[in-house]
Homo-oligomer: A and B are copies of this chain.
Amino acid sequence: MIYLPLGGAGEIGMNAYVYGYGAQDKERLILVDLGVTFSDMDTSPGVDLIFPDITWLAENKDRLEAVFITHGHEDHVGAVGHYWDKLGVPVYARAFTANLARHKMADRGQPEEEIKIVSPWPQMTRAGPFSVGFLPISHSIPESAALVIDTPAGRVIHSGDFKLDETPVVGEPFDPDLWADVCKDGVKALICDSTNVFSRTPGRSEASVGPEIVDLVTNAPNMVVATTFASNVARVKTLAEAGERAGRSICLMGRAMRRMIEASIQTGVLTSFPKVVSPEDARTIPRENLMLLVTGSQGERRAASAQLARGKYNGIQLKEGDLFLFSSKTIPGNERGVIRIMNQFSEMGVDIVDDESGRYHVSGHANRPDLERLQDIVNPQMVIPNHGEHRHLREHARLTLERGRGSVVAVNGTMVDITGDAPMVCGFVETGRTYLDGATQIGAMDGIVRDRIRMALNGHVVVTVILDEEDEPLGEAWCEVKGLPEQGRSQAPLVDVLEEDLSQFLGRASEKTLGDDDKLEMELRRIARNTCNDEIGKKPEVTMIISRLR
């Protein structure tokens, strides 16, 4: 039996884990989760979404039995619509997750019915030599499940993202007795979430934030706006109920916020939720009687919170004395965006409350003591850390080894044999990232995004030269610059200096050079870069266009 992460091991995001059972290189396979991760200006400007590279899996799709989705977060289900046609197998998920996954299939024109709804444990789904059950576990989204993966080689538990919350507000509480029962006959391997391995105190329950939020909302004199991840339905409910208790009308703003509550109600995850008003109606309600629940806790520029920070959104505008609550943690890398919004609100006189005090947010992931507790309950022969950067996986493996169980740091592409008593690395496959860039998929390493980054850092010079039938320059070189200063050291326009230097070269260039595109291009490029360096202290990207009339 093998375990092979294709995404999510060595990074937080784009989870995709393969399990295999059978003779070497002929294993029958299942895939657990198929997520995305998000781009940033530093490494992937202009990219819309980032996917794990599943080339290996697509090449072996005749061996693939099914896909199982643990829960509905984007980093676990986000690629289903984009990648389904490369795999062509049924996708199993619990009702709430399936609801979200079907939207994703529909968005990409894929068959929604390939998303199959399964009931939680003790139901098991057969997929070749595998039998897979969805064992409920608490997390920051409804119906999160660990997977119980049985093969003739034994039982494996794939934790999915989880916390040990016995009062999760929405959905099933963590049930240690049920878990102990599932694991009592022996578990070969626990493949386990590592996100919070560096947090040394036990995680807090979702229920603990309720009273604090009620206090805050009740005492707010004017309008209250709160943001959290829309998928954190328990939190959205807690916020809405706090508003209701304070006599406020609740208005949901942002597409994801509405879609998540809708999905929760459709699938029976939410059996009660305060009555909500439309943004149109909200405008007519006195602000001290209003509470908005909005998307954009990470400072996303197009989300409701960012739009409110810039001015009006859906006809509503925040004012001096309103309260804005971030019932959320800022994910590393999103700080600048969040701080930008905070300052925009500050300029409006809006009071901002964030999670610095730890009162208005709890994490959805298991902390170190919780990881230890789960190991004790599951009592597996080995624990393989996943869902973490290298440092998380390493710490989690160390923790496991210290507690006398087998472990290994297996990053994306590492094939691990988990048949024996301890994990054994048995191979490597090519992995990486692919980008959704507008309407096309591009490789992370094929130079397209690298060129964009270079243009952003260095600017871009375009040089055109026209040569006549005799390879003689027709007129002078012509330059256009983009993203570069208009003039430099000589105080003359940069394009003039460039054209002068390039034309001078053309005037003295040999017949041989002028007749040879490659040589001419190389020389002109070198001159263009050097002239820019002399003038403005930058060596830009250069595009050369040599037109020949012959």
- A: residues with CB less than 8 A from B are 10, 40-42, 45-46, 198, 332-333, 335-336, 339, 342-343, 345-347, 349, 352, 356, 389-391, 394, 437-440, 442, 448-449, 451-453, 455-460, 462, 464, 466, 474-475, 478, 480, 482-489, 533, 535-538, 541, 543, 545, 547, 549
In the complex, which of the residues A346, A466, A549 has the most CB atoms of chain B within 10 Å of its own CB atom? A346
Contact across chains for B336 and A42 when beta carbons are under 8 A apart: yes
Q: Which residue of B lies closest to A435 (CB)?
A: B485
Q: Which residues of B contact A345 (CB under 8 A)?
A: 391
Q: A198-B356, A456-B452 are in contact. Are A46 and B342 (CB under 8 A)?
A: no
Copies of the polypeptide in the assembly:
2
Complex CA gap A17/B217 in Å reads 39
9 further interface pairs, Cβ-Cβ under 8 Å (given A452-B483, A455-B455): A41-B41, A46-B456, A46-B457, A332-B335, A343-B390, A437-B536, A439-B538, A453-B456, A466-B547
Which single member of B40, B455, B466, B489 contacts A466 (CB below 8 Å)? B466
Q: Which residue of B lies closest to A548 (CB)?
A: B475
Q: Which residues of B contact A451 (CB under 8 A)?
A: 459, 482-483
Contact across chains for B342 and A458 when beta carbons are under 8 A apart: no
Q: A464-B464, A474-B549 are in contact. Are A452 and B442 (CB under 8 A)?
A: no
Contact across chains for A339 and B332 when beta carbons are under 8 A apart: yes
Q: How far is the CB of A493 from chain B (nearest CB, A)?
A: 13
In the A-B complex, the 3 residue pairs with the smallest Cβ-Cβ separation, listed nearest first, are A439-B537, A438-B537, A456-B456
Contact across chains for B391 and A342 when beta carbons are under 8 A apart: yes
Q: Which residues of B contact A40 (CB under 8 A)?
A: 41, 336
Which single member of B336, B391, B482 contacts A543 (CB below 8 Å)? B482
Which single member of B332, B437, B464 contacts A545 (CB below 8 Å)? B464
Complex CA gap A504/B270 in Å reads 57
Q: Which residues of B contact A547 (CB under 8 A)?
A: 464, 466, 475, 478, 547
Contact across chains for B439 and A455 when beta carbons are under 8 A apart: no
Q: Which residue of B lies closest to A437 (CB)?
A: B485
Contact across chains for A541 and B482 when beta carbons are under 8 A apart: yes
Complex CA gap A44/B45 in Å reads 13
Q: How far is the CB of A306 from chain B (nearest CB, A)?
A: 14
Q: A437-B485, A455-B483 are in contact. Are A394 and B545 (CB under 8 A)?
A: no
Complex CA gap A488/B455 in Å reads 22
Q: A390-B347, A456-B45, A478-B547 are in contact. Are A484 and B448 (CB under 8 A)?
A: yes
Q: Which residue of B lies closest to A532 (CB)?
A: B438
Q: Which residues of B contact A352 (CB under 8 A)?
A: 391
Complex CA gap A541/B482 in Å reads 10
Q: Which residues of B contact A394 (CB under 8 A)?
A: 346, 349
Q: How far is the CB of A482 from chain B (nearest CB, A)?
A: 5
Which single member of B343, B391, B438 contacts A389 (CB below 8 Å)? B343
Q: Which residues of B contact A389 (CB under 8 A)?
A: 339, 342-343, 346
Sample (14) of A-B pairs whose CB atoms are under 8 Å apart: A41-B45, A42-B336, A45-B457, A198-B356, A437-B538, A438-B538, A439-B538, A448-B484, A451-B459, A451-B482, A452-B482, A460-B482, A466-B547, A480-B545
Q: Which residue of B lies closest to A389 (CB)?
A: B343
